[in-house]
Chain A
Amino acid sequence: NAGVTQTPKFQVLKTGQSMTLQCAQDMNHNSMYWYRQDPGMGLRLIYYSASEGTTDKGEVPNGYNVSRLNKREFSLRLESAAPSQTSVYFCATRTDRGLGYTFGSGTRLTVV
């Protein structure tokens, strides 16, 4: 039982390059989330999806797009990476009864 799987684990991009961070869950949860974690800022919500086919902006959505491909997968895309997007990105799911969140192991992204 893998839970929440994120790929890749590490990535270095040049400014202006694009990439997609992948997240997949095997818990059959409806709700999925993308957070970023920065020193001194804590975890901040980028986008979330309450169910397949729906997405909503979080606290810091600028520069990102998301796709809820199906119930299992929720991807985060950087169209034109900027150094300010250097961060650790976490994907999470929430049980359908709202009883807790499960996080992936994160993607450490550096934009140079």
Chain B
Amino acid sequence: KQEVTQIPAALSVPEGENLVLNCSFTDSAIYNLQWFRQDPGKGLTSLLLIQSSQREQTSGRLNASLDKSSGRSTLYIAASQPGDSATYLCAVTSGNTPLVFGKGTRLSVIA
């Protein structure tokens, strides 16, 4: 059974810092990995999707990397802003199996 772990559970940083969120998964035979953002009381917004054949994806100040062999992904946020404050969720899917989620990292960026 696939299990996804996100570390740390919560993170507080001053504005302007670069930061890394970590995600690990137990079964390396994944099809793709998706990072989501969730604001309090809101739904999930997809940030980045990395297919199993890819090593990384970038969108603006966000960069996600994937190392299938070690079962790890990182989400790098450059020059953090208070508007980046949210919960970040990592999820993986293997073939046709549904998405399996980590419990998320709650990020606070302090102005």
Contact = CB atoms under 8 A, between A and B. Distances in A.
Interface of A: 33, 35, 40-45, 48, 50, 58, 90, 92, 94, 98-106, 108
Given A43-B89, A90-B44, A106-B43, A101 B103 contact: no
Contacts of B101: 35, 42-44
A98 B93 contact: yes
Contact of B103 (A41, A98, A105, A108): A41
B103 A33 contact: no
Given A35-B101, A43-B101, A98-B93, 6 more contacts: A42-B101, A48-B98, A58-B98, A90-B44, A98-B31, A105-B42
A97 to B, nearest CB: 10
Interface residues of B, number: 23
Interface in B78-111: 89, 91, 93, 95-96, 98-104
Interface of B: 31-32, 34, 36, 41-44, 46, 49, 51, 89, 91, 93, 95-96, 98-104
Nearest to A50: B96
A103 B43 CA distance: 7
A66 to B, nearest CB: 13
21 contacts: A41-B103, A42-B89, A42-B101, A42-B102, A45-B98, A45-B100, A50-B96, A92-B99, A94-B99, A99-B49, A100-B32, A101-B46, A101-B91, A103-B36, A103-B43, A103-B44, A105-B42, A105-B43, A106-B42, A106-B43, A108-B41
A91 to B, nearest CB: 10
Contact of B98 (A33, A42, A108): A33
